[in-house]
């Protein structure tokens, strides 16, 4: 699928976005993506959707001046754009007119340059800092004067009389990792400011210097509960560029595993959300009973926290984009085995083998002969494997 978009000049952007929201019921801002198109300039792609009709539209706008790019804000139309636009400013240096808070949100406030620009010299401009990251109590807002010139003013984020408490960014305090600055009035939280980026890896920039196979390892680590969705998305881009169409079996497996990870992702979200609000029981139930997902006819693809009595936890599942389909299971600290999904050509039964050939073995103690393992027996097989260690 090719992304089609309508190009709008920055001066006309806000009026057009307002029209789309009111007249075409584009009430959902799906995403807002900063772009560096080189000589064409810096700009943004807006992805809009109507929750009433299901219609979608993509809008492209390009700032007129690459050295000092300005684009009107849409944060007054869609509140989520407040954070999206700050992210684009942080990485591309695009300033959004009439945005109330043009501070960085991922990088340190004393960061020099904008690393997602193609011409940015990130490592040269930013040596390793051993000091604490500064946190400003004020911010800048840019706006147009009546004569069309850009001016700026200072907005106060945290007043001198406010009682501000830092929450996080320690992982036991906030998942993510997330840093919140909360203004308190007794036990009442008046407002919260977010500081993101503590686990931002800059994969967008790193990928520019990697080959496609090297990049696959990074997409798995964007979200450990959505590893396969991210990898499959990249694989599909590569396959499209190669004009390659994978077999229906691969497409089926991708769909099934993506859905399983989607379900697991929702479950961990609700478990963590309830725990963060004080209801610990839901999270303990989740840890004890990470759901077993039924494959077919009672057979199970064992997506539990494997073998609680052995304290073995499923921490990584990796899928390749071509046949055979491989599941890599890591447990303990350095232990890992690889299982390959196969289908019996006569019966259609699905089973795992512990190797395709001797070169595919990760743990030599498994032996070099194939062992057919029905899905329903995967738990018992891994228990026996652990017992042999």
Domain range list for the chain: 6-145, 211-387
Run of H or E including 35: strand 28-36
User: Whole-model pTM?
Assistant: 0.70
Asked if 66 and 49 touch (Cβ cutoff 8 Å), the reply is no
Residue 369, classed as helix, strand or coil, is: coil
Asked if 155 and 141 touch (Cβ cutoff 8 Å), the reply is yes
Asked if 293 and 300 touch (Cβ cutoff 8 Å), the reply is yes
Take residue 363 and report the two structure tokens written for it: 């743990």
CA distance 99 to 18: 16
CA distance 290 to 283: 10
Asked if 93 and 117 touch (Cβ cutoff 8 Å), the reply is yes
DSSP E strand stretches across 40-175: 42-49, 56-62, 70-72, 95-97, 138-144, 150-156, 163-167
Please give the CATH number for the structural domain made up of 6-145. 3.30.460.80
Run of H or E including 242: none
CA distance 38 to 43: 10
CA distance 167 to 180: 5
Residue that the structure tokens 């809009």 belong to: 48
pLDDT of residue 338: 55
Run of H or E including 36: strand 28-36
Give per-10-residue mean pLDDT for the chain (389 aa).
Answer: 83 96 95 92 96 94 92 96 96 96 92 92 88 91 93 94 86 71 92 84 82 83 80 90 89 84 78 78 64 37 34 32 42 48 55 44 37 47 54
């Amino acid at each position: 699928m090719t992304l089609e978009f309508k190009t709008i000049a920055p001066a006309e952007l806000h009026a057009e976005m307002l029209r789309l929201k009111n007249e075409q019921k584009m009430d959902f801002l799906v995403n807002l993506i900063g772009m560096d198109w080189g000589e064409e300039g810096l700009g943004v792609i807006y992805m809009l959707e109507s929750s009433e009709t299901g219609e979608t539209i993509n809008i492209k706008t390009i700032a007129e001046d690459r050295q000092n790019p300005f684009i009107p804000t849409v944060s007054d139309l869609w509140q989520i754009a407040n954070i999206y636009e700050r992210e684009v400013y942080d990485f591309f240096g695009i300033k959004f007119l009439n945005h109330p808070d043009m501070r960085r949100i991922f990088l340190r406030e004393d960061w020099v340059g904008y690393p997602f620009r193609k011409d940015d010299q990130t490592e040269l401009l930013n040596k390793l800092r051993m000091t604490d990251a500064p946190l400003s109590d004020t911010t800048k807002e840019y706006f147009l004067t009546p004569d069309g010139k850009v001016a700026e003013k200072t907005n106060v984020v945290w007043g001198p009389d406010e009682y501000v408490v830092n929450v996080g960014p320690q992982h036991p305090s906030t998942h993510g990792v997330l840093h919140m600055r909360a203004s308190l009035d007794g036990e009442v939280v008046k407002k919260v400011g977010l500081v993101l980026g503590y686990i931002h890896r800059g994969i967008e920039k790193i990928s520019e210097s990697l080959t496609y196979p090297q990049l696959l390892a990074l997409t798995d680590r964007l979200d450990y509960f959505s590893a396969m969705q991210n990898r499959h998305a990249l694989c599909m881009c590569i396959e499209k560029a190669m004009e390659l169409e994978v077999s229906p079996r691969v497409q089926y497996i991708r769909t099934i595993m993506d859905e399983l990870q989607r379900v697991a992702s929702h479950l961990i979200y609700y478990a963590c959300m309830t725990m963060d609000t004080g209801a610990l029981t839901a999270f303990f139930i989740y840890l004890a009973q990470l759901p077993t997902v039924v494959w077919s006819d009672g057979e199970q693809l064992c997506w539990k926290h494997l073998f609680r009595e052995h304290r073995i936890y499923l921490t990584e599942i990796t899928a390749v984009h071509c046949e055979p389909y491989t599941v890599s299971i890591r447990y303990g600290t350095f232990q890992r085995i690889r299982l390959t999904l196969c289908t019996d050509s006569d019966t259609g039964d699905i089973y795992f083998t512990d190797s395709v050939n001797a070169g595919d073995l990760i743990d030599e103690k498994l032996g070099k002969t194939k062992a057919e393992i029905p899905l329903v027996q995967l738990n018992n097989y891994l228990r026996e494997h652990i017992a042999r260690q």
